[in-house]
Structure 1
Amino acid sequence: MDRSATPATNRSATPPYRRIVAEIRRRIDTGELTAGDRVPSTRRITREWGVAMATATKVLTTLRQEGLVRAVPGVGTVVAETGTGAEARTHHGPAPRPRGSSHHPLPAASQPQPPALSRDRIVRAGVRIADAEGLRSLSMRRVAAEFGASSMALYRHVANKDQLVMLMADATFAEIELPAPAPRHWRARMEAGARLQWQLYQRHPWVAQWLSITRPQPLPHAMTLIEWTMGATRFDPLTKLRLALTLLNHVRGTAVAMEEDLEAEQQTGMDQDQWMVSQEPEYEQILESGSFPMYAGIDAMDDAGTLQLDALFEFGLARLLDGFEVFSDGREGRPAH
């Protein structure tokens, strides 16, 4: 038998971006690329491996997530100082062959088969892609490629991309474990519910961007979270819903910037701090005009975290709940409408 058949089969079954990530990882591990060296840019990756720009972007994003590389303004993406060793990454390559195992390919009947398609597996694959590449990169063809199947095979389990994304979003809400026992005071309960939402959006930034307040989607697990969040309030159902949507919109509206920031980082190669540093000269020139006393009165060093999303979330949540408390005190004893 031809012993080269098995490796070729493995290569064809591995997504292109993972093969490229594995090659760049190999260059780092072997010392071909050392700390501070530039790694191939997205443009070079597209030329060297013949892949699309989206795939090249995914390669650099994955390497950054594994801690192997970092973006340097004005330079590009370089090998990180700690970007070596197995502890800095999650290996996606084929598992090593156990000692003593046969070097011959398995008979055809025993060859590993692609996992059988099911709605649950398709949804989980969609979530993985959206988490890593953003919702704009998601397509039925992209998900099918994860299984080595055709797009048409997916339609036996989901009607279309819109239904797939809705199932994906509801599946992320199903991950939430509601605290037991639940907080008894309404403010503590609403704060806990808001934080559960915030943590979900941190894990899956695309969900906040997809959700709609004006055209709500039927998501049973999301509805369960909202019902639990409002469970300690004593208002009539309509007032509860309005308060819940106001709270949800603060969390979701702040979290939308997570996905936007990830996309901007992929496009510019700069994280938020690096981007702000690059904009400082322009801002200083504007502030020197004297037309913006509010901005000029802020010490950039003391308030460096003002624009961090976690800080905006915390400040807005506290002020919103303060307002709800005033509203609640004013409504006590009044009949429900």
Structure 2
Amino acid sequence: MPVISCAECGDELPAAAGRGRPRRYCSRRCQARAYRRRRDDGSSRRLPSALRGSGSSGRLSAALPGDDESLVALAIGLADELGPAALSVRLLADRAGLPVHLVYQRIGNRADLLRDMAERVLDANVPASGSHEPRDRLGELARAEWSLYRRHPWLLTVLATDRPPVGPAVLATVDRVVAALVEAGFDPADAYRGYLVLSGYVQGMALLIDPEPAATSARAWRAATRRRLEHTGRLERRPWLAEATRGDPGTELDAWFEFGLDRLLEGLLTR
């Protein structure tokens, strides 16, 4: 008797019981995956045997061109180049030269992809502590987080939320700050509160980072805003505003960050 296989994953189908239309899929999951694939790229062909998973889950084997790590690395480059709003699984598949359904099977949905991207960036940029003093260590950790937002502005949208990913690398960033605060004399609960204060400051300042520093729109907006303020006399009555609008935030942002960080640490560690 011939063996009948699932039209999606290739697993053997159970023997048909009674009459009716022959089964094509081993599970609703495979049926749904086939529907999504046809919707995404119009393909109704079964996966080649070299790309089928070994079990009923249909996970891809290592024969797929481009492993998970390379797909995540490509996604990081795309987000750095285009911003997080432009990043999608479909775009990633297009740049990788792979069918969309194969990329979905590799990395999951967009939320899964962003989580893996954040883990990859954080794990590859563990700050090396050069000091044993809690205040110096906290400064190092805050500057390390700040530099990541400078290099990868999309990372802020992943981490600055009430439901951040909680992978090992994300938790390790919290561990390092909490440990420094515990060493400074905080109990664990207050140390976590201190972490929220410090990270909240870093992330708040990171909102000022222009994700497209080369774009002319932000520079044009700043120039037009200054002209409007001058025309209405609002700069003349506000020396602080005149100073703030004179420089380029892109070049002064690091100085503003250091100004606030120094005073925040001073207040946070004064018991």
TM-score normalised by length of structure 1 = 0.55
SS at match of 1:200: helix
Give the Cα separation in 2 of the matches to 1:306 and 1:158: 37
SS at match of 2:107: coil
Paired residues of 2:226 and 2:245 also in contact (CA < 8 A):
no
Partner of 1:96: none
| Residue from 198, 207, 225 that aligns with 1:256 | 207
Say yes or no: does 1:296 pair with 2:247: no
Alignment of 1:1-337 (within 5 A): 116-180=65-129, 182-233=130-181, 234-258=185-209, 261-263=210-212, 266=215, 269-272=216-219, 274-288=220-234, 293=237, 295-296=238-239, 300=243, 304=247, 308-326=252-270, 329=271
Paired residues of 1:194 and 1:247 also in contact (CA < 8 A):
yes
Deviation at 1:132, TM superposition (A): 0.3
Question: Do the aligned partners of residues 143 and 313 (structure 1) sit closer, same or farther apart at CA in structure 2, a change above 3 Å counting?
Answer: same
Question: Do the aligned partners of residues 149 and 244 (structure 1) sit closer, same or farther apart at CA in structure 2, a change above 3 Å counting?
Answer: same
Question: Do the aligned partners of residues 125 and 301 (structure 1) sit closer, same or farther apart at CA in structure 2, a change above 3 Å counting?
Answer: closer
Deviation at 1:185, TM superposition (A): 1.4
Amino acid at match of 2:100: S
Question: Do the aligned partners of residues 212 and 316 (structure 1) sit closer, same or farther apart at CA in structure 2, a change above 3 Å counting?
Answer: same
Question: Do the aligned partners of residues 306 and 150 (structure 1) sit closer, same or farther apart at CA in structure 2, a change above 3 Å counting?
Answer: closer
> Cα deviation per residue 1:141-162 (whole Å; 9 max; x = unaligned)?
1101122111101122122111
Give the Cα separation in 2 of the matches to 1:166 and 1:252: 17
* Residue-pair matches, total: 205
Amino acid at match of 1:284: E
Paired residues of 1:213 and 1:249 also in contact (CA < 8 A):
no
Question: Do the aligned partners of residues 306 and 315 (structure 1) sit closer, same or farther apart at CA in structure 2, a change above 3 Å counting?
Answer: farther
Question: Do the aligned partners of residues 284 and 144 (structure 1) sit closer, same or farther apart at CA in structure 2, a change above 3 Å counting?
Answer: same
SS at match of 1:278: helix
Give the Cα separation in 1 of the matches to 2:225 and 2:214: 15
Identity %: 27
Paired residues of 1:287 and 1:296 also in contact (CA < 8 A):
no
Amino acid at match of 1:199: S
Give the Cα separation in 1 of the matches to 2:127 and 2:226: 43
SS at match of 1:195: helix
Paired residues of 1:130 and 1:138 also in contact (CA < 8 A):
yes
Amino acid at match of 2:87: L
Question: Do the aligned partners of residues 271 and 238 (structure 1) sit closer, same or farther apart at CA in structure 2, a change above 3 Å counting?
Answer: same
Paired residues of 1:213 and 1:245 also in contact (CA < 8 A):
no
Contiguous gaps of at least 5 residues in structure 1: 1-113, 330-337
Name the Cα RMSD after superposition.
2.7
SS at match of 2:106: coil
TM-score normalised by length of structure 2 = 0.67
